[in-house]
């Protein structure tokens, strides 16, 4: 599945929901953006709730409902793409910037960036 496919599917969904970024004022777009950021935050929490992440909790039997976990992850992806659409970021810009960011991550690893830190 390509970035443009996901993007266009969600742009169509936004149109059905009544959002037409081109017709929204700047203030309206920022309000929609605020809603999408908050929604993503909630979805991230829901994703985390599908995982045994609490170090203080004893999980006698770790079972993850893979279908629910994937669904929550996709919900997060939906709100990220919704944000891109509202901000006017084109699929080609997402792809170009993605390649650039990943390349920078690899460069950091090659330059021992990760060895200087104790975190990911």
Domain residue ranges of the chain, discontinuous segments joined by +: 3-89, 90-120
pTM metric for this prediction: 0.82
Between 1.10.287, 1.10.238, 1.20.140, 3.40.50, what CATH number should domain 3-89 receive?
Answer: 1.10.287
Residue 1's pLDDT is 75
Which pLDDT tens digit goes with each residue over 51-106?
999 889 888 888 899 999 999 999 999 999 999 999 999 999 999 999 999 999 99
Token pair recorded at residue 45: 């929490």
Tens-digit pLDDT profile for residues 3-36: 999 999 999 998 898 888 888 999 999 999 999 9
Q: Show the tokens assigned to 68.
A: 């629910």
pLDDT at position 117: 58
CA pair distance 98, 92, nearest whole angstrom: 10
| DSSP codes joined into one string, the chain | --HHHHHHHHHHHHHHHT--TTTS-HHHHHHHHHHHHHHHHHHHHHHHHTS---TTS--SS----HHHHHHHHHHHHHHHHHHHHHHT--HHHHHHHHHHHHHHHHHHHHTTTGGG-S--
């Amino acid at each position: 599945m390509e970035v443009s496919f996901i993007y266009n599917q969600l742009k169509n969904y936004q149109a059905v929901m009544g959002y037409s970024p081109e017709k929204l004022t700047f203030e309206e777009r920022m309000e929609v953006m605020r809603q999408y950021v908050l929604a993503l935050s909630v979805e991230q929490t829901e994703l985390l709730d599908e995982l045994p992440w609490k170090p203080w909790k004893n999980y006698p039997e770790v079972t993850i409902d893979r279908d629910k976990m994937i669904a929550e992850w996709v919900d997060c992806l939906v709100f990220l793409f919704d944000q891109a659409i509202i901000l006017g970021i084109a699929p080609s810009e997402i792809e170009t910037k993605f390649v650039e960011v990943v390349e920078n991550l690899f460069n950091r690893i090659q330059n021992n960036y990760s060895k200087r830190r104790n975190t990911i």
